[in-house]
Amino acid sequence: MSATDGSLSAYVESTIIMTTVRVVSPFVFTFGLFVMFHGAESAGGGFQGGAIVASSIIMLAFAFGIEPTREWLDDSVIRLLVGVGATTFVGIGIGALAFDGAFLEYAAYGISHGVKYGIELVELGIGAIVAGVIVSLFMNLAGGFNHDSGGDDA
């Protein structure tokens, strides 16, 4: 496998891109979390924040090479992220049913500011799903389409 795609591994890192990404990506990541946490009270939300977080990881992949990033951020981690996000969303929603509320009725929890915390947690769950899906889509696309033998290798 590694012998056939020599054109991918021939990628040489650029100092300019690496330095810029090193400076910029922490801010982008933080801004993504900021957007996620602000979903309840101002402009923002899980989807946008998740997209920004994913873009910071895709930037790392551009700067340091896609294969090193794939080794650093294993596919199972991304799957776990998506699973935890979906579980958070469904858990918050179903949990309200246990407190005699409707699905996603945050007020049923009876905590002070329960609506706000409920929305925040759901936004974080959505953000985790979106970030995970975007990163895994990018990684799969970057892997190339040379698996022309048909069956998918899970």
- Residue 148 phi/psi, 5° resolution? -85, 10
Closer to other proteins by Cβ: residue 62 or 109: 62
Quote the least distance from Cβ 30 to other proteins, whole Å.
12
Buried b (16+ CB within 10 A) or exposed e, 125-142: bbbbbbbbbbbbebbeee
Quote the least distance from Cβ 21 to other proteins, whole Å.
8
Quote the least distance from Cβ 97 to other proteins, whole Å.
41
Quote the least distance from Cβ 4 to other proteins, whole Å.
18
Half-sphere exposure of 120 (CA within 13 A, CB side): 10
Residue 124 CA to residue 47 CA, distance in Å, equals: 9
Closer to other proteins by Cβ: residue 37 or 109: 37
Chain residues that interact with other proteins, rule: CB under 8 A? 11, 14, 16-17, 20, 23-24, 27, 62
Residue 48 CA to residue 36 CA, distance in Å, equals: 7
